[in-house]
Structure 1
Amino acid sequence: MKKIILATLFFAFSIVGFAQSKVNPGIRIGVNSANISNTNLEDKIGLNGAVFLDVRFTKFYALQPEIGFSNQGGESANGGEDLNINYISIAAVNKFYVAPKQGFHFILGPSLDFDFDNNFINIVNDTNESDVTPIDLSLLFGIGYEFPFGLTIEARYKQGLINIDLFDDFFDDYNENNTSLNNVFQVGVAYKFKI
């Protein structure tokens, strides 16, 4: 019974805190420079974008849940086929402002990425199924500047934490212990609507 009461109180205080915070929706769009570690792939240019809710809890901190799209993978270094992986991302971006009423901020947060489309099929085993791990967990960090009229400029780095389990096509020296992780540098702009 005590646990139920405590959970109810926590939920009620969370709702009150959320309601007293300033909440603004927004959109974000940018460019990726993506690669995959321990492969012979080169950097691949792609797009990313998201819709978000900016929840400003204090003068120094905002939580920004995002749902977005990110085109990642790598370009073939030897004239072969490029690797294209398209992810739907759900991120919890924490924004830490350096000073009140100033736009400069640091970004830190996790992202859960779902591979909904890629061009890599396990041809060797003739299974006609994708050989890329369907989910990636990433950590992102970066810096940004938010102007008073709602425009934000950001630079982010997104590091994958789960081996995406590529077959030997993209390795110079393949062995079963190779770990291939997503690495993505993102530059973009966002606009936060005032409501």
Structure 2
Amino acid sequence: MGDIMLRRSHPSGGLRSQAADGSSVVTAVLPREAESVPVARRLVRHTLADWRLPQLIDAAELVVSELSANAVEHARHASVRVTLQRRPGNRVRVAVTDKSTDLPVLLPLADDAESGRGLALIAAVACQWGTDPLPWGKRVWADLEPEQGQEEPSCAPMYAGHRAQLLYVLIVVTLGVLVGLAVISGTP
């Protein structure tokens, strides 16, 4: 991903920086444990909301979940690095770096397999994905981009956090109930 200069902390706990090409980067080093997978999803969710790319949140959360879970399961070092890079054309690269030199393998899907579908899911939602072997490990990445015509968010508000989404739904439902009660009781 090129040389990265540290700038400041991101509200989600990651470090905000700028790559040598000027693109925005948010990165976080997380412990190699299962509890880090939801932390990685939260980093993705908050970063993409901050970048005003809510249409990529679901796919990016799926990608970072699969890549982080693979690193937790297969790597042998105490930590992993999660990186998001905003590239030209609103393309976003989601990457997980670990210190295992074992490269991931896209397995054929078997009906009775209990695992091994992660890379197939990533390949299905990403416009491109790959692995960069490093002298001490590897970086597995996936590029996501909005579909044509989805560059701008829709007119309906998009809330990045599940709590905010729940609160929004609760408000809308409450207003609907109050309007319904007002109509039933004949009050204007």
Band of TM-score, shorter chain: under 0.3
TM-score, normalised on structure 2? 0.25
TM-score, normalised on structure 1? 0.24
Q: Which has the higher strand share?
A: 1
Q: Which has the higher contact order (CA 8 A, sep 6+)?
A: 1
Q: Which has the higher helix share?
A: 2
